[in-house]
Structure 1
Amino acid sequence: METGLSTTSTRTVTVFKLHERDGIGGKQPHLPFLVISSKSSKGDSVLVILDPKLDRDNYSIFFNGLRERGYNLTFRSPKDPKPAIIEFEQPQFSHVILFAPETKSFASDITPQSLVQLLEKDTNILIALSPKQTPLTSLASEFSLILPPPGTPLISHFPERDTPENVIPVTPTRNEILSSTLAPVWFSGVPFSLQNNPLLVPILNAPAESFASDSEGDNGANALVDASEKGGEGLWAGSSLGLVTGFQTLNGARATWVGGVDVFSDEYAQKEVSEGVKSGNKQFGADVSAWTFQESLVLRVDSVSHHRVNETTPRETYTTNDRIVFSAEISRYNPKIATWEPYSGIGDLQLEFTMLDPHVRTALPPVAGQPGKYSVAFRAPDRHGVFKFVINHKRRGWTHLHSSTVVPLVPPRHDEYPRFLSAAWPYYLGAISTSLGFLIFSALWLAGDDRETKRGKSTKTE
């Protein structure tokens, strides 16, 4: 086991010293003590599982970049039993890098089940694949990635270049994970098709003119034409194929699948894509690792509050038709200063007031002048029951935000109903008019004419 840095704490300022045996690419002189902030919101310990066939010196730019950002790297081979990934059902590292694309047998602690368990325990994973069939390629299907048959790397004859057909310059599409000024990236490896899974996060897609083939010659293009004539069966081509794809679980853990480990190599990082233009592989590796290790695009809900309009304290129960104010405090992790900052940049945040189904769904906009605060006032529905304030914000690449607060909604008490209802005035007038009519009738009946009685008395007297 080799440890790149010895740290004393995570998520805080870390003091460390480089040793001669810790250098990548040979011995390095002793350096003075440096103070570097923790860059990941989940910790700085990284286990690098490196295939012995891969020379660590060929990836020194990528590994040194991680160290410069404050990560503590620990290296082991795929078959080494120590250091273990999980001990006593607890992850021993915050992040795991699997650079063993062609390894077919691993130590007992590295299994598809253990890797899934790492994600369940909020440990992030960066996995490199190859065109060969390995346990990792079988695991990819569990993450909604479909790989082509073994031995079919991605090739392209365009643009014209002096590199082999399977070494392709890929222009990244614009997204929030990668830098906006990223130069084309050299890629060599296997593509994969993406299933319709909302947890997938496309990072780098294949060029439109590229395709997967079992040969680097033009007969691969003929096979592509044959497949297209058969209705697309077996067609592995075009920009719909993924080369680097992320997967974010519901609890926030991230796994990134890379079609080839050479993307992180020093050769590709220093190779020019055109005369005088260096490739973007170095920055690409930094961007991908930053997203995977939860440095970038990380959000959290700090607190929520609710109360009636014109009040400040929450109630244990609310009454139907109450005017309720709901507020949420949201922050974003800033890796430059290793701290959480209020974030008001979410423009499509929503609040749901639900009882089985949403009875109220409304926008939850940011509050001007109060960074990180989102608030909305709404009228409670005219239906009593157990309701929940729910925030469920899911956007590709960003941390999923979820918050649920239970509150009872009760009907008004008998003394809380209004004395008179404006909508009931017709009934009130009907009742009043009926009562008045009855009184008038009674008065007239009681004070009616008694001539019939007097007539009867006069006849009897005669």
Structure 2
Amino acid sequence: MASSARVRALLWVAVMLPVLCAAFSEEKPTDQRVLVLLDDLALKSSHSIFFKSLTSRGYELDFKLADDSKLALQRYGEYLYDALILFAPSVEGQLGGNLDVAAILDFVDSGHDLILAADAHTSDVIRDIATECGVDFDEDTEAVVVDHINFAVQSESDHSLIVGDKLIDADVILGKDGIKGPVLFRGIAHSVNAASDLVVTVLSASPSAFSATPNAVMTAPPALTGTSISLVSVVQARNNARILISGSLDLFSDKFFKSPVQKFGSSSKSASGNEQLALELSKWTFHERGHLKAVNVHHQKVGEKDEPAMYRITDQLEYSVEIHEWTGKEWRPYQADDVQVQFYMMSPYVLKTMDHNGKGLYHTSFQVPDVYGVFQFKVEYKKLGYTSLTLSKQIPVRPFRHNEYERFIKAAYPYYGGAFSMMTGFFVFGIVFLYHK
């Protein structure tokens, strides 16, 4: 009986081992478990198209009220969710349960993703989270974005329903096809630090827009005007966590998705681009696009296959790495002409742009500098919309041994000639001096 049970166990392992190996080898960087915090559960129906687009792509959405006393992002040191959608702009005071600004920032610092939407009633909690992520909402709590030229004709008299079409030119963020229609926006303005390479404005306002309180007498110039107003921005942290910040919660609503857009001064109507924009931005934020990984980093002497323990000065070496991009379903070879490798010690001694074979393999060759010490192969690849790659591999470089130098160095031939000519001259002088008067 014991032997038959052992045989059955071995058969089970033999059947399941390939399945388990395949499951573990297919690393998926996309988020799966998403916590959705809402001001009101009615948002589940008013924003149903956006949420259904996420569930259709395999995401598990957990809807909860933002002031739920049982809220928690982690338990026993393990995070319960991979991403957070914060559609609760008007939540008063602190969030429910163990959630606060610090907990959400720790969530992002741990490599998790965040979608945050605001509106005209945004609370201080949401503003503080946005500020810590590098985005500053207008300090005037009653101000919204107003545009008396680029507004939708169905807008109220305050012209706060604006039409935005100034989108970033980045296929990796908005998709290869781009956003086909104009975007409806009703919400508040924010600004980003132009010197920061982490925050990028996706949708900006037109030059005629400004941030002010509707139907109020302006006693001073508005703080934010024109194209300096950011409507939708994205952040990619240094740990490759991604954040989407929108000044409008309505931008994700079914009403804006399906509403035809007629811009002031135009007699034609067009389909709204809100649904496509929300879909593409959610793909980018949840790493369905623009996520890179590097594998099979290898270096060796030219003509050899094994990695050496060290190199000698002036050796010829080869360096290679494979880079792949996640498409939401599978890993595909990444193709670019700007991937560089450094041979680095305190500063780069060699900087080479690598060639690729169209199948994800990047390679180059170069000569080791005539300097010995401890060097590093470094690849620091940072490109708009893509996760950053930082690779480093340490290798020592030694000088020639005493028996590895050439017997006669070409550069020393003049010195050799000088020494032998002096000996010859001294010999001739000695003969002349001794045997001739």
TM-score in same-fold range (> 0.5): yes
Q: Determine the structure 2 residue equivalent to 1:254.
A: 242
Q: Determine the structure 2 residue equivalent to 1:163.
A: 155
Asked whether the equivalents of residues 323 and 377 of structure 1 are also in contact (C-alpha less than 8 Å), the reply is yes
Compute the TM-score of the two structures, normalised by the length of structure 1: 0.81
Asked whether the equivalents of residues 166 and 216 of structure 1 are also in contact (C-alpha less than 8 Å), the reply is no
Q: Determine the structure 2 residue equivalent to 1:24.
A: none
Describe how 1:114-263 pairs up with structure 2 within 5 A: 114-131=103-120, 132-149=122-139, 150-159=141-150, 161-164=153-156, 165-173=159-167, 174-176=169-171, 177-179=173-175, 180-195=178-193, 196-216=195-215, 219-220=217-218, 227=221, 235-263=223-251
The answer to whether the aligner puts 1:353 opposite 2:343 as a matched pair is yes
Which is worse superposed, 143-152 or 67-76?
A: 143-152
What is the Cα deviation at residue 318 of structure 1?
0.9
What secondary structure, in the 3-state scheme, does the structure 1 residue paired with 2:305 have?
coil
Q: Aligned equivalents of 1:348 and 1:158: distance in 2? A: 41
Q: Determine the structure 1 residue equivalent to 2:354.
A: 364
The correspondence for 1:314, drawn from 307, 318, 332, is: 307
What secondary structure, in the 3-state scheme, does the structure 2 residue paired with 1:277 have?
coil
- For 1:349, the aligned partner's letter is V
What is the Cα deviation at residue 60 of structure 1?
0.6
Residue deviations 1:138-182 (CA, integer Å, cap 9, x gap): 222222222212111111112352313111111142322114143
Residue deviations 1:272-323 (CA, integer Å, cap 9, x gap): 1134521011111111111111111111112211112222221111112222
The correspondence for 2:284, drawn from 291, 314, 327, is: 291
Q: Aligned equivalents of 2:271 and 2:236: distance in 1? A: 31
Q: Aligned equivalents of 2:273 and 2:28: distance in 1? A: 22
Q: Aligned equivalents of 1:63 and 1:252: distance in 2? A: 24
What secondary structure, in the 3-state scheme, does the structure 1 residue paired with 2:213 have?
coil
The correspondence for 1:325, drawn from 318, 331, 342, is: 318
Question: Percent identity of the aligned residues?
Answer: 29
Asked whether the equivalents of residues 193 and 242 of structure 1 are also in contact (C-alpha less than 8 Å), the reply is yes
What secondary structure, in the 3-state scheme, does the structure 1 residue paired with 2:299 have?
strand
Residue deviations 1:436-458 (CA, integer Å, cap 9, x gap): 22333445556x25x9xxxxxxx
Asked whether the equivalents of residues 321 and 380 of structure 1 are also in contact (C-alpha less than 8 Å), the reply is yes
CA distance 1:391–1:111, change in 2 (3 Å) = same
Residue deviations 1:234-289 (CA, integer Å, cap 9, x gap): 53011122111111111211111111111100000010113452101111111111
Q: Determine the structure 1 residue equivalent to 2:36.
A: 48
Q: Aligned equivalents of 1:109 and 1:443: distance in 2? A: 103
Larger radius of gyration between Structure 1 and Structure 2: 1
What is the Cα deviation at residue 435 of structure 1?
2.1
Question: Which consecutive residues of structure 1, in runs of 5 or more, have no partner in the other structure?
Answer: 1-11, 14-37, 228-233, 452-462
Residue deviations 1:98-155 (CA, integer Å, cap 9, x gap): 1101112312322121112112222111111233332110222222222212111111
Q: Determine the structure 1 residue equivalent to 2:12.
A: none
Q: Aligned equivalents of 1:106 and 1:403: distance in 2? A: 39
The answer to whether the aligner puts 1:68 opposite 2:23 as a matched pair is no
Residue deviations 1:333-392 (CA, integer Å, cap 9, x gap): 021xx2212212x221111111121122221232x3x51011111122221111111111
Asked whether the equivalents of residues 166 and 206 of structure 2 are also in contact (C-alpha less than 8 Å), the reply is no
Asked whether the equivalents of residues 36 and 84 of structure 2 are also in contact (C-alpha less than 8 Å), the reply is yes
